Amino acid sequence: MLKVFLVLFLALIPVSSACASNHLRVLSYNVWYGFTKVPERKKNFLEWMETQNPDIVSLQELNGYTADRLEADAARWGHAHSAILKEDGFPTGITSRFPIKEVRRFREGFHHGLLRARIKGIYYYVIHLHPSNWEIRGREADLVLADIAELPKGSLVALVGDFNTLSTTDQRHYVKTSLEPFFAARDIKYKEKNLRDGKFDYSVIRKFTAAGLIDLEHSKRKSGYFFTGSFPTKIKKPGDHGEARRLDYVFASPSLAKRVTRAEIIADDTTWTLSDHLPIVVEITHKQRPKDDK
């Protein structure tokens, strides 16, 4: 009887400590084809997620996932709530320690689709923009911004995920790379549109910053910052994937950004070999919200 009590008590500790905390820990991860390419890494991923104690998780590339499978994985890291965009192609999903409300799924006009949900008074957009066409990414960005404009005035907003594009804030890290020739070759070989008139396209990220949204990871960089990018990692996969670049972001409305205490790409011995993207973690000081957001 005592053993059963201890097991139950220990199982409740992560949830209790998270609920008692005045911080929300948000994690974003592109998990490369839902681990269908490297199924042996799924166990390591689940074990790593358990150590992160996240409150909200945004996931991209949930290939092969169903709503039930996402629910089962979410339970491993202590989340009783989850939502998936779709069950075909490249789904996105969100899991949470807290109830997920106002779930909306957008397919029209998006290459992969868009998932939106409200959690603890914050509207989360799970982002996965077109992988190889800057013009389509721009149209997708316009659709995201149009939806944000329809939210109640003063809404707290977070855009979390894989934007598949570059930011001028990282421009100096790309100057001495061979990324432009790399993308130029892809554009010719695969008829893609990575470059704009032979140069990097920064217009998509500019749309979000022009709308007043804050690039959280960039805003929290400290002196001595070392650029790792968020893609590619050190896993072995066929083909040439170019040099390090940042494709994964978290943007927030200004009022929400003021409450962010931490935002960084997690580059450690484990994450370098779990997926082809590195995850992002953001920590937010949360205030008490209305009863239905608890």
Domain locations in the chain as residue ranges: 22-286
Contacts of 18 (CB under 8 A, 6+ apart): 25, 53, 55, 78, 97
Question: Which residue type sits at 186?
Answer: R
- Predicted local confidence at residue 13, as pLDDT: 44
Question: Which residue type sits at 12?
Answer: L
Q: Does domain 22-286 bear CATH number 3.60.10.10?
A: yes
226-259 tens-digit pLDDT: 999 999 999 989 999 999 999 999 999 999 999 9
Residues 71-93 have a mean pLDDT of: 98
CB 19 within 8 A of CB 80: no
The dihedral of CA 195, 216, 227, 113: what is its sign?
A: negative
- Predicted local confidence at residue 38, as pLDDT: 86
What is the DSSP track for 222-258?
Answer: -TT-----SB--S---SS---S-B--EEEEE-HHHHT
Residues 188-199 have a mean pLDDT of: 98
Listed range (70-79, 182-191, 234-243) with the worst mean pLDDT:
234-243
- Predicted local confidence at residue 286, as pLDDT: 78
CB 62 within 8 A of CB 31: yes
Residue 221 has pLDDT above 60, yes or no: yes
- Confidence category of residue 11, pLDDT binned at 50, 70, 90: very low
7 vs 216: which has the higher pLDDT: 216
- Confidence category of residue 14, pLDDT binned at 50, 70, 90: very low
- Predicted local confidence at residue 104, as pLDDT: 98
Residue 218 has pLDDT above 90, yes or no: yes
What is d(CA 140, CA 129) in angstroms, rounded to the nearest whole number?
A: 7
CB 93 within 8 A of CB 76: no
Residues 203-226 have a mean pLDDT of: 97
The model carries a pTM of 0.91
What are the helix (H) ranges across the chain?
2-20, 42-52, 67-76, 134-149, 171-174, 179-190, 203-210, 216-219, 254-257
271-285 tens-digit pLDDT: 999 999 999 999 999
CB 27 within 8 A of CB 281: yes
Residue 290 has pLDDT above 80, yes or no: no
The dihedral of CA 178, 112, 94, 204: what is its sign?
A: positive
- Predicted local confidence at residue 288, as pLDDT: 57
Residues 93-119 have a mean pLDDT of: 98
Helices (H) and strands (E) in the chain, counts: 9, 12
Residue 18 has pLDDT above 50, yes or no: no
CB 62 within 8 A of CB 70: yes
